[in-house]
Copies of this chain bind each other. A is one copy, B any other.
Amino acid sequence: MIKGHVFIATSLDGFIARPDGDIAWLLKRDDPSEDHGYNSFMANIDGIIMGRGTYEKVAAMEQWYYEKPVIVLSKTLRQQDLPARLADKVRIMNLTPREIMKLLEEQSWKHVYVDGEQVIQSFLRENLIDDLVITQVPVLIGQGLSLFGSINEDISLKLLKTTPFPSGLLQTHYKICQN
C-alpha cells in the first residue's frame, strides 16, 4: 500500500517558516557537515507531493533540487503555466489528498514525500501519513507557518528514534498509530 512520509525541520515552537516563507533562521543553524538523513530518505521515495505555495518557493530558486517527480496539488495552476525547464519534472493535479494517493498507488508508487504546511496538514487529517521525521531547530521564532494544524480527533504516535546532533538540531522519528 502507498505511504505518505514527512521529512521536515521546525523551530522549537513548531514553525516550518516565518509568515513570509523565510527559512534563514533554519539555514544559519544548519551544519552542512552533519548528515541529517535527507539523501537516504529521498532514495526510498517515488516522488514528492506539495502545494502551490511550496512549489512557487522552490520554483523561484535558481536550481531545481528534486531528482524525483514532483506533483503540485492546485485548483488554479495549470500544466501550461510551468516554465519550460520544469515541464517534464512537475505535474499539476487538481485532486484531493485521497484521490491523488489512489492514482499514484495505481501507478505503483509506494513512498510519497509529502511537503508543505497545508498539504501535510490535510494529509494528516485524512490519515494518509505513515511517519514523520522532524528536525527540531533550537530557536523560537514566535510566528509563522505551523507544521501542525487543526485535526478532527487526536492522533497518537509512536516515537521510533531520537537523534541529537552536535549542532543542537534534534531529529525525531514518529510513526502514526493507526486506530
Contact = CB atoms under 8 A, between A and B. Distances in A.
Contacts of A12: 148, 157, 174
A164 B162 contact: yes
Contacts of A142: 148-152, 154
A20 to B, nearest CB: 15
A142 to B, nearest CB: 4
Contact of A159 (B14, B150, B156, B168): B168
A150 B143 contact: yes
A85 interface: no
A143 to B, nearest CB: 6
A138 B154 contact: no
Categorize the interface residue count of chain A.
20 to 34
Contacts of A156: 138-139
A155 interface: yes
Contacts of A124: 140
A46 interface: no
A122 interface: no
A138 B150 contact: no
A148 B13 contact: yes
A103 to B, nearest CB: 27
Contacts of A174: 12, 138
